[in-house]
Structure 1
Amino acid sequence: MRIVILCGGESPERDVSSASGRAVAAALLERGHEVVLVDPAASEPVLAGPLRPGDAVAAFAVPEEPPVLADQGAWRRRMHAALTGGPVLELLRGADVVFLALHGGWGEDGHVQALLEMAGVRFTGAGSAACAAAWHKGRAQAVLGAAGLPVVRRVLWGPAEREVPKAVRELVEQGPVVVKPAADGSSVSVHRVGTEEELERAAADVAERGLEFLVEPFLPGREFTVAVVGGRALPVVEIELTTPLFDYAAKYQPGAVRELCPAPVDEAFAARLQELALAAHGALGFGARSYSRTDFRCDADGEPMCIEVNALPGLTATSLLPLAAAGAGWSYPELTQRILDLVEG
């Protein structure tokens, strides 16, 4: 097949997406496809291609820190222009399938999906409506809670609120909390807050980034994630942390955490997590032709809570979806092929 891979993009996860795109390109070449690698936010959007089986793809190592967003405005202008006209749009229309290796921002909140839908371009992953539903963590948790899934109490904190909201202070008084962007990924700007000093640092980040943040109780228990591909829940992955939070550096630097698949839990608990992941997948509108990854953290009693659902989970060499796929007996190239096959139905 002729496949265009979209990666990079305009979000804080730009570097992660670049690594995912290159890994996907190498895997699809191994499966015998023709590939063009495109970063629609770059000044020269075609990064490589057309590549054919046997061609090499340079790897990309994710830096320890997310990219500085001073150029985000330019990235967005280029990305919108590329996806709505000109040679990049012609490339997308000429492809059999567009493989979305974008993470965060417009690549995961439904923007890109909506543009591709309007252009009549077939692409991997969920449609624009499901992506939009999952992207805002506060609204997604409200949907999950209404569907009967276990979620924690949460407070939204907007950048226009110059003082720390009373509801946030009340949560902090009850114990440590996690403060994170309500619509962002890869654990960028995530804070564990238990003191007044830590709360002030989080408040400064809220003001500086100009985003709506979500505040929820810090759950001290074990952390798990479950991927769903099509209608199948993959083996449970446990994330053993050496730090209080699974932050950006921990996610993308090899050896920063232990990730165990299958998770060392009894069959009943694993089956429960898989059932919850399938229910979350369905509640947010992900269908049988899409994939997702649901993150869980347990409270002090060991009860799992749904934290968020990822519409385009990472596909780097150290990402959790490929690890879960390996636990199911799938190689990385087989995983990319299965994602591609979902488009075909």
Structure 2
Amino acid sequence: MRVVILCGGESPERDVSLASGPPVARALLERGHEVVLVDPAAAEPVPAGPLRPGDAVDGFVVAKEPPSLAERQQWRRRMHASLTGGPVLELLRGADVVFLALHGGWGEDGHVQALLEMAGVPFTGADSAACSAAWHKGRAQALLGAAGVPVVERELWRPGDGQVPRDGQAPGGGRMPGDGEVPEGVARLVAAGPVVAKPVADGSSVSVYRVDSPSQLARVAADVRASGAELMVEPFLPGREFTVAVVGDEALPVVEIELTTPVFDYAAKYQPGAVNEVCPARIAPDFASRLQELARRAHRALGFGDDSYSRTDFRCDARGEPMCLEVNALPGLTTTSLLPLAATGAGWTYPDLIERLLGLASHRVAEHRVTRPWPAV
């Protein structure tokens, strides 16, 4: 097939996405497909292609820190222009399928999926509704809890937004720090501490903080206030961490993430050797089956179907009970990412995984097959 790979984009995960695109391209070329790599946020949106089997593809290395978002508005303007008109849109329409290797931001919150749906372009992964449901962690947690997936108590807070409780007092007395007063629920969780504070809509563990005191919370608030980000504050879970991928209707082997840091942050995720990731996880078979069933239930609860894939993250509380942290609609596809590791545990090679993800969208592709040549870009 003729496949356009969308990577890069405008989110804090831009570098991760740029690192996902080349191995996806190499895998598709190995399986005999024709490929074009497109970064819709770049000034030159087509870094490579059309590529044919046997062609070389340059890689991309993820830095230790997320990219600066100083150019984010420009990235978004370019991305919107690319996906709604002009030669890039014609390139997308001329493909048999668009392979989404975008992570975070518009690539994972449903924006790009909605634009492709309106343009009648088939793509891999979940539809716009499922992506939107999974992206906002607060709403997703509410849906998951209603479906019987265990989740922790959580509070949402936009620092400095002026929405304050009646007295702004932390339990036991003492005013919590910050521009505006901290909501009562957040103050209570911090007092019981420790907690984890993270953006309610973001990925790759960007800006995830462990908070042990009100003074630490004040520093976190100062860090995020300028961006206007909404935080989700939840109890810190001290137990083991696991993740389970679901591809179509199949739950892959459980991966355990053995941490050397309090939280699985951006640097730990994308620097080789920063953490130990074990697949299959060294756990009892009945516990592995339980995690896999919870991942399937989470997948379905947020609207993911048998033509899509997801990765659900869990962390255990002090009693060893697993709690669902989030569901990822477009998990990373770099060579060190967790979904490819889970695929290896299932006996799949990396090209096997990419071919399966492409195959999930086969019914959309069948309705769209075209025979005209690639348009020039």
Q: Does the pair score TM above 0.5?
A: yes
2:219 pairs with 1:201: yes
Structure 2 partner of 1:247: 265
Amino acid of the structure 2 residue aligned with 1:198: Q
Structure 2 partner of 1:115: 115
Identity %: 77
* Residues 8-34 of structure 1: per-residue CA shift (max 9 Å, x gap): 000000000000011101111111110
Which whole-Å CA distance do the structure 2 matches of 1:58 and 1:123 have between them?
24
Structure 1 partner of 2:88: 88
Which whole-Å CA distance do the structure 2 matches of 1:250 and 1:272 have between them?
27
Structure 2 partner of 1:318: 336
Show the 5 A alignment for 1:1-345: 1-159=1-159, 160-161=161-162, 162-345=180-363
Which whole-Å CA distance do the structure 2 matches of 1:59 and 1:165 have between them?
46
CA drift at 1:196: 2.5
Task: Note the residue ranges of structure 2 that are not aligned, 5 or more in a row.
Answer: 163-179, 364-377
Does structure 2 retain, via aligned residues, the 8 Å contact 1:113–1:128? Answer: yes
Which whole-Å CA distance do the structure 2 matches of 1:230 and 1:149 have between them?
19
Does structure 2 retain, via aligned residues, the 8 Å contact 1:164–1:203? Answer: no
TM-score (norm: length of structure 1): 0.99
Moved more, 209-218 or 242-251: 209-218
CA drift at 1:205: 2.0
Q: Name the larger-Rg structure.
A: 2
* Residues 177-199 of structure 1: per-residue CA shift (max 9 Å, x gap): 00000000000111000122311
Which whole-Å CA distance do the structure 2 matches of 1:319 and 1:124 have between them?
18
SS of match in other structure, 2:198: strand
SS of match in other structure, 1:152: coil
CA drift at 1:60: 0.4
Task: Note the residue ranges of structure 1 that are not aligned, 5 or more in a row.
Answer: none
CA drift at 1:261: 0.1
CA drift at 1:209: 2.1
SS of match in other structure, 2:217: helix
Give the CA RMSD over aligned residues.
0.7
Which whole-Å CA distance do the structure 1 matches of 2:314 and 2:321 have between them?
10
Which whole-Å CA distance do the structure 1 matches of 2:231 and 2:87 have between them?
37
Which whole-Å CA distance do the structure 2 matches of 1:13 and 1:205 have between them?
18
TM-score (norm: length of structure 2): 0.91
SS of match in other structure, 1:296: strand
SS of match in other structure, 1:69: coil
Q: Which runs of 4+ in 1 moved over 4 A?
A: none
Which whole-Å CA distance do the structure 2 matches of 1:315 and 1:65 have between them?
18
Does structure 2 retain, via aligned residues, the 8 Å contact 1:10–1:76? Answer: yes
SS of match in other structure, 2:224: helix
Moved more, 323-332 or 189-198: 189-198
* Residues 116-145 of structure 1: per-residue CA shift (max 9 Å, x gap): 000000000000000000000000000000
CA drift at 1:279: 0.2
Which whole-Å CA distance do the structure 2 matches of 1:163 and 1:57 have between them?
52
* Residues 253-301 of structure 1: per-residue CA shift (max 9 Å, x gap): 0000000000000000000000000000000000000000000000000
Does structure 2 retain, via aligned residues, the 8 Å contact 1:296–1:308? Answer: yes
Which whole-Å CA distance do the structure 1 matches of 2:347 and 2:16 have between them?
25
CA drift at 1:167: 1.6
CA drift at 1:165: 2.2
Does structure 2 retain, via aligned residues, the 8 Å contact 1:226–1:235? Answer: yes
SS of match in other structure, 1:46: coil
SS of match in other structure, 1:169: helix
Which whole-Å CA distance do the structure 1 matches of 2:252 and 2:44 have between them?
37
CA drift at 1:213: 0.9
Amino acid of the structure 1 residue aligned with 2:108: E
CA drift at 1:35: 0.4
